[in-house]
Amino acid sequence: MNSFFTIPDVIILALVLVIIMAGFFAVVISKERKNAKKNRDLLIKLQKLNQELKRLDDAKSEFLSIASHQLRTPTTIIKGYVSMIREGSFGKVPRPIKDNLDKVNIAVERLLNLIENLLDISRIEAGRLEFNIQSVDLGQIAHELIEEFKPKADAKKIKLVLAVPKKFPKTLTDPQKIKEVASNLVDNAVKYTDKGEVIIDLHQEGASVVFSIIDTGMGIAPTEVGRLFNKFVRGEDVASGHPEGTGLGLYFARIVVENLGGRIWAESAGKGRGSKFSFSLLLADKKQAPKIRK
């Protein structure tokens, strides 16, 4: 039986196919090499851009630090002299002047608070935020905050409530920084609550201590809760009603708590329905954590 292709024809056809496939793969490999070179070039450009962005970010942090330090000294001097004048250290002050000095004092306090916030942020971004970890009684800090904020709460006719068990385990933290965090949360609660109460609640959950500040204030929209702890973020209603804020306090609180091995979060049933801000920290003595029965 005669075949359509002879053996030489088959060999020639196979060689042609091999040549075609070799040419095809050569084209593909050439394109891949070109793409790889483009990708390498793009990666090098991105690395250079990233280095430049880091340099600019470091320069910005350094500028913030220097500027804040330079601003703090004259601002502190202004605050000191304003206080002395208000107290009558240079003679009796007429009521109209004293009233205006009270406004100046409030403005200077806000400026100092902004400067301290900027200094804290510059330390965080430069990796220079240091912690003094020790065994701390958060219940004692809660009592101190009640005393410190009572005059401000009384002026607004807001009730301050302390809910702390008599015997309470200590936690591992930096006492100064964690008090600054808690103070900021209590200050916000009093500031944004027009009627009702602010509760400082302290309780244990497993191997952690939970510090909560609960208020009956303006509340938070569900869409805003998740982003409150980002830098320069403030609630929409908060920003319009209280334009003096910086949006740095909660960001600083998150950085501090997370560096201390804890977590911080916010809860709210919605606008006009109050809010709850909490942070948790590990117990100083893990033996005080309740044992789970298997």
- The verdict on residue 293 lying in a domain is no
Asked if residue 191 lies in contact with residue 155, where contact means CB atoms within 8 angstroms, the answer is no
| Vertex 155 angle, CA 117 and 202, to 5° | 60
Mean pLDDT of 28-39: 78
**How would residue 293 be classed by pLDDT, with cut points 50, 70 and 90?**
very low
How far apart are alpha carbons 209 and 179 in whole angstroms? 14
pLDDT given at position 242: 54
Please write the tens of the pLDDT for every residue from 182-234.
999 999 999 999 999 999 999 999 889 999 999 999 999 888 888 888 876 76
- The verdict on residue 77 lying in a domain is yes
Residue 275 shares a structural domain with residue 140: yes
Residue 18 shares a structural domain with residue 91: yes
3-class SS of residue 35? helix
247: left (phi over 0), alpha (psi -120 to 50) or beta: left
Residue 123 shares a structural domain with residue 167: no
Q: Which backbone phi and psi does 132 adopt, to 5 degrees?
A: -110, 85
How far apart are alpha carbons 105 and 76 in whole angstroms? 11
Asked if residue 69 lies in contact with residue 119, where contact means CB atoms within 8 angstroms, the answer is yes
Residue 173 shares a structural domain with residue 105: no
In the predicted structure, residue 68 carries a pLDDT above the cut 70: no
pLDDT given at position 161: 95
Mean pLDDT of 44-53: 80
Last residue of some domain: 112, 129, 146? 129
Please write the tens of the pLDDT for every residue from 116-149.
777 877 777 777 778 899 999 999 999 999 999 9
pLDDT given at position 286: 67
SS3 content of the chain, % helix, strand, coil (to 5): 60, 15, 30
Last residue of some domain: 68, 96, 129? 129
What is the count of structural domains for the chain?
2
**DSSP secondary structure of 123-185:** HHHTT------EEE-HHHHHHHHHHHHHHHHHHTT-EEEEE--SS---EEE-HHHHHHHHHHH
Task: State which residues form the domain around 174.
Answer: 134-288
Residue 160 shares a structural domain with residue 239: yes
In the predicted structure, residue 59 carries a pLDDT above the cut 90: no
How far apart are alpha carbons 215 and 250 in whole angstroms? 16
- The verdict on residue 44 lying in a domain is yes
Residue 2 belongs to domain with CATH number: 1.10.287.130
Which segment of 115-119, 173-177, 249-253 scores lowest on mean pLDDT? 115-119
pLDDT given at position 16: 74
**DSSP secondary structure of 59-75:** HHHHHHHHHHHHHHHHH
- Give percent of the chain with pLDDT exceeding 90: 35
Residue 231 belongs to domain with CATH number: 3.30.565.10
Residue 191 shares a structural domain with residue 260: yes
**How would residue 32 be classed by pLDDT, with cut points 50, 70 and 90?**
confident
- The pTM for the full model equals 0.67
pLDDT given at position 294: 36
How far apart are alpha carbons 145 and 180 in whole angstroms? 10
